[in-house]
Amino acid sequence: MSSTTKRFVGIAGAGVLLVVALVAAAPAFLDTEKLLGQVKLQIEPRLKRQVTLGGGELSAFPPRVLVKSFAIAEDPALGATRQFASAEQLEVRLGLLALLTGDVDITSITLRKPVIELIRKPDGTWNYETIGDQGESKSEAGD
């Protein structure tokens, strides 16, 4: 192997090790509570419901936050004391590049042991119909 090739391989190897070290060290430098707040800020407007996140822990490989408890509030028309859905654990996978720059890019969400309560209202509609954009499009359409 020529000295130029050895040098290139050494520099490339050092670059890869640096990236791996940054990713592995990310949980130590990131504030998990702040990250959970950013995750909540992304989820609530999409669901159009209040979301409760329990404590969590950050994992580097794969980049994710494991939330100890999770709940989605019920449709306010049915009462604020109920929950529409809950789960023992919520796994939120995050985009690596966004995480390294301090942003949150949710790539997937997995609920572990979910419980969902479906309620039919007196007018015949279901409580899930007001989740996200569904409720907006129905009321805009005049249904």
Q: Cα–Cα distance between 62 and 40 in angstroms, integer?
A: 20
pLDDT at 14 over 90: no
User: Which residues are within 8 A (CB) of 109 and not within 5 positions of it... i.e. 6 or more apart?
Assistant: 43, 90, 91, 92, 93
pLDDT at 142 over 80: no
Q: What is the mean pLDDT of residues 91-106?
A: 80
Q: Which residue has the higher pLDDT, 103 or 136?
A: 103
For the segment 15-66, what is each residue's pLDDT rounded down to a tens digit? 666 655 555 555 545 677 887 888 888 889 988 889 988 888 887 777 888 8
pLDDT at 135 over 50: no
Taking CA atoms, 101 is separated from 61, 92, 139, in Å, by 17, 18, 39
Taking CA atoms, 102 is separated from 16, 64, 89, 108, 136, in Å, by 20, 14, 24, 18, 32
**Per-residue pLDDT at 96:** 79
Q: What is the mean pLDDT of the chain?
A: 78
pLDDT at 115 over 90: yes
pLDDT at 8 over 80: no
Model confidence at 138, in pLDDT bands (50, 70, 90)? very low
Q: Cα–Cα distance between 136 and 130 in angstroms, integer?
A: 7
Q: Cα–Cα distance between 128 and 75 in angstroms, integer?
A: 8
**Per-residue pLDDT at 80:** 65
